[in-house]
């Protein structure tokens, strides 16, 4: 009887091992298939620290930073705005939230922030946030969470502070204080292509940064942005990479470096002069 019990136990162990092995193999195979699309929309930001975002979060962060710069707000304001959007929406343009809250900053129509449709526009929402922050007396000397709370009046006033470090990294990169600091990988099937992608990209740059001088070079389907210095160049270059997924950007080149959608990283360009005062972007051509 004891021998039979041992045999049953042994058989059970074998079955369990086989089951675990089977589950592991299936998970590995499924995981390999799932990992590609997930990784294909990932952005890594490196500027005295690291932040990893998905494509939607990255695009929203880039727009928030650009609007702050267009409004001539100091760097600290961009940090506060990003930390607020991190906490309120996870840097996502949400359709709803607590009560009638909407958008990146979860602003409420009933509290005078605008209509639901207006607040659902990231540019409008960012502009409204910066306008409200500017009215706060002494916000520049406050902690990030205190400045954010003066605008948001949250039930959790200390919650914004935990995003201060990530927001500082994003701000340094998106305001051009680091070189090749935003690297995104995009999917193999772009959302937009050709002239439509180039037109949308040009319009986005104009609305976020206020750049009417953006021009389209003849040698490729895309655009070229004149710059006054390296810092401004990297602002635009990082914005273009941040919006690569939603605007079909295939390649961005500036300062002797090049980012490609295929590689997802920045690398040196052999024939690219570092003194070129243009940021050049190429979009995917028509299929």
Q: Average pLDDT, stretch 147-174? A: 96
Q: How far apart are alpha carbons 210 and 70 in whole angstroms?
A: 7
Least confident of 38-42, 115-119, 276-280: 38-42
pLDDT, residue 19, reads 44
pLDDT digits (tens, 9 = 90+) for 49-62: 999 999 999 999 99
Q: Which tops the pLDDT comparison, 78 or 186? A: 78
Sheet containing 222-226: order of strands:
222-226, 278-283, 249-254, 257-260, 266-268
DSSP string over 125-172: HHHHHHHHHHTSTTGGGS-HHHHHHHHH--S-TTGGGGGHHHHHHHHH
Which 8-state DSSP code applies to residue 54? E
214: phi then psi, degrees, rounded to nearest 5: -60, 130
Q: Is the pLDDT of residue 213 over 50?
A: yes
Tokens of 90: 């996870």
- The pLDDT of residue 275: 56
pLDDT band per the 50, 70, 90 thresholds, residue 35: very low
- Quote the longest CA-to-CA distance of the chain: 89
């Amino acid at each position: 009887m004891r021998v039979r019990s041992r045999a049953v136990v042994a058989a059970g162990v074998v079955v369990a091992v086989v089951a675990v092995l089977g589950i592991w193999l299936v998970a590995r195979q499924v995981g390999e298939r799932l990992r590609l699309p997930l990784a294909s929309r990932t952005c890594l930001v490196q500027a005295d620290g690291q932040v990893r975002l998905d494509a939607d979060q990255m695009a929203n962060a880039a727009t928030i930073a650009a609007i702050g710069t267009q409004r001539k707000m100091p760097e600290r304001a961009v940090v506060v705005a990003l930390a607020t959007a991190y906490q309120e929406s996870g840097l996502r343009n949400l359709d709803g939230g607590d009560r009638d809250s909407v958008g990146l900053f979860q602003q409420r129509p009933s509290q005078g922030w605008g209509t639901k449709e207006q607040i659902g526009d990231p540019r409008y929402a960012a502009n409204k946030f910066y306008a409200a922050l500017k009215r706060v007396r002494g916000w520049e000397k406050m902690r990030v969470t205190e400045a954010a709370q003066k605008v948001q009046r949250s039930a959790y006033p200390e919650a914004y502070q935990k995003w201060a470090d990530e927001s500082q990294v994003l701000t340094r990169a998106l305001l051009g204080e680091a070189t090749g600091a935003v690297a995104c990988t995009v999917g193999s099937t772009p959302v937009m292509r050709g002239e439509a992608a180039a037109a949308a990209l040009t319009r986005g740059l104009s609305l976020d940064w206020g750049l009417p001088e953006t021009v389209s070079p003849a040698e490729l389907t895309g655009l070229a942005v004149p710059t006054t210095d390296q810092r401004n160049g990297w602002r635009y270059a990082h914005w273009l990479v941040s919006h690569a997924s939603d605007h079909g950007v295939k390649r961005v080149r500036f300062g002797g470096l090049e980012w490609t959608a295929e590689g997802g990283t920045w690398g040196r360009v052999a024939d690219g002069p570092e003194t070129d005062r243009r940021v050049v972007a190429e979009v995917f051509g028509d299929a």
